[in-house]
Structures are given as structure tokens and as C-alpha cells.
């Protein structure tokens, strides 16, 4: 890797919009370092979808998690991915 400014970006995505953050990093000449990485992640419903799921369940069974539990996803449903990386 050569010395200089390196341009990178990170994103935060919502249902219908995206927010991009750009930064320039100064990198001294060097080499890549491999590290052990721990990655944890989960898939979540959007807040609105979960509210709709709860309302549907309450109308059918008066129980927030029955007949459709939180772990149930539908074809075409938008979802949220969360991941945490350390290393």
C-alpha cells in the first residue's frame, strides 16, 4: 500500500433513502496486516413492518407473537441487516 490519502466511504441505509459518509485517511506506506475478525449479525424487520405484524396478531389472537412470530419473514419484505465486526 502506498503512502497518501485514501478515500473511503461508509453507508447507512434506511427503507427508502441512503446516507453516505465520505472521509479521506492518511496512510503511511506499509503493508496489510491480517487479523482475526469476529463477525456477528442479525436480520431484523423494519419498524413499520413489525408494528403491522403485531397489529395483525392482536386482531387475530390477542397475542403479539401469535400466529406470526418475529422470526417469520415474507417474500419481498424489506428487512434490516445489522452486523458487528471486531478484530
| Domain spans of the chain, in order of start | 4-28+35-86
pLDDT (0 to 100) of residue 86: 81
In contact, 1 and 30? CB cutoff 8 Å:
yes
Burial of 80 (0-12, 13-18, 19+ CB in 10 A): middle
pLDDT (0 to 100) of residue 39: 83
In contact, 43 and 73? CB cutoff 8 Å:
yes
- CA angle at 58 for the pair 52 and 60, rounded to the nearest 5°: 105
Residue with cell 452486523: 83
Rounded Cα–Cα distance for residues 20 and 10 (Å):
6
pTM of the model: 0.53
pLDDT tens string 28-78: 676 666 667 788 889 999 999 999 999 999 999 999 999 999 999 988 889
Amino acid at each position: 500500500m502506498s503512502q497518501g490519502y485514501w478515500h473511503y466511504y461508509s453507508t447507512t441505509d434506511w427503507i427508502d433513502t441512503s446516507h453516505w459518509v465520505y472521509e479521506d485517511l492518511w496512510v503511511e506506506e506499509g503493508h496489510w496486516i491480517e487479523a482475526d475478525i469476529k463477525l456477528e449479525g442479525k436480520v431484523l424487520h423494519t419498524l413499520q413492518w413489525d408494528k403491522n405484524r403485531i397489529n395483525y396478531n392482536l386482531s387475530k389472537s390477542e397475542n403479539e407473537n401469535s400466529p406470526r412470530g418475529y422470526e417469520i419473514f415474507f417474500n419481498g419484505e424489506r428487512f434490516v441487516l445489522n452486523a458487528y465486526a471486531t478484530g
